[in-house]
Amino acid sequence: MSINSKKSKEVRKSLDLEKIYKLPEAVALVKNSATAKFDETIEICAMLGIDGSKQNQAVRNVVSLPHGNGKTYRVAVFAKDLKADEAKKAGADIVGSTELVEMIQKGEMPFDRCIATPDMMALVGKVGKLLGPKGLMPNPRLGTVTMDVESAVKNAKSGQIEFKSDKCGIVRAGVGKASFSDTDLIENINAFVDALNKSKPQGLKGVYLKKLVLSSTMGIGVKFTLA
């Protein structure tokens, strides 16, 4: 038995599956269980008191994590002229207009985030059916359709993440890596939960945030509370 697997089993044995841990303790438990040979992602799972099948109760938003989530994002921007230059200077990986559309139509999408200026949306619409299913369609509500291209690119590059509820009313998101310090993870988690609370659908009755669970890619899941 490897040292890593032995350590993971010891953590599992010490875990009370029925207990709701305070956030600092939950972070420590999850980090201790992350014994894989790679830097495991720390993921938060939030179970919400919404009807995920109803469009007016869907939860979707973005949040900038104070310490990023450990992932490097490739950003594409639909822009022209001065805004294209602005995007390039801000660090965008791909910038274009019709040539970017042609690339996407060929099935080439070497990017993780997509931003567009408002005047480009008619053009972007031509590849909407390709971008949409991959969650890449620019959206003004999420700040990815904007004239402030510089800020949008920098936000995407610095660890701004998008989150949305599924049909079961569950939201999942990576909030860091096992190599992050406890303090950085705690600050990221607090920022995420704050953004989640601010995204509560208007008029929703009953308990909104029902359960929070923290886990690593290969490790245990720990229920926790911020209070």
Mean pLDDT of the chain: 92
Report the percentage of the chain scoring pLDDT > 90.
Answer: 77
Put residue 66 in one of left, alpha, beta given phi > 0 → left and psi -120 to 50 → alpha: alpha
Residue 181 lies in a domain: yes
The burial of 195, by beta-carbon neighbours within 10 Å (0-12 exposed, 13-18 middle, 19 or more buried), is given as: middle
The CATH code of the domain that includes 212 is: 3.30.190.20
**Tens-digit pLDDT profile for residues 134-154:** 989 999 988 999 999 999 999
* pTM given for the model: 0.80
Query: Is residue 41 included in any domain, yes or no?
Result: yes
* pLDDT of 54 above 60: yes
116 and 188 fall within a common domain: no
Residues 61 and 119 in one domain: no
**Same structural domain for residues 100 and 84?**
yes
Average pLDDT over residues 86-95: 97
Predicted local confidence at residue 8, as pLDDT = 60
Cβ proximity of 123 and 147 under 8 Å: no
Using the 8-state DSSP alphabet, how is residue 76 labeled?
A: E
The set of residues, in sequence order, having a beta carbon less than 8 Å from that of 123 and lying 6+ positions away, is 78, 97, 98, 101
In angstroms, the CA 184 to CA 223 distance is 19
* pLDDT, tens digit, 9 for 90 and up, residues 188-220: 999 999 999 999 999 898 999 999 999 999 988
Residue 79 has pLDDT above 70, yes or no: yes
Model confidence pLDDT, tens digit, residues 101-134 = 999 999 999 999 999 999 999 999 999 999 999 9
pLDDT value of residue 1: 39
In the predicted structure, residue 160 carries a pLDDT above the cut 70: yes
Task: Specify whether 84 is located in the same domain as 144.
Answer: yes
What's the domain count of the chain? 2
The pLDDT, as a whole number, for residue 7 is 61
- pLDDT at site 121: 97
Query: Range of 202's domain?
Result: 17-69+160-225
Note whether residue 6 is domain-resident.
Answer: no
Boundary (domain end) residue, out of 108, 138, 157: 157
- Strand pairing report for 60-64 and 160-164: antiparallel
Q: Tokens representing 198? A: 């601010």
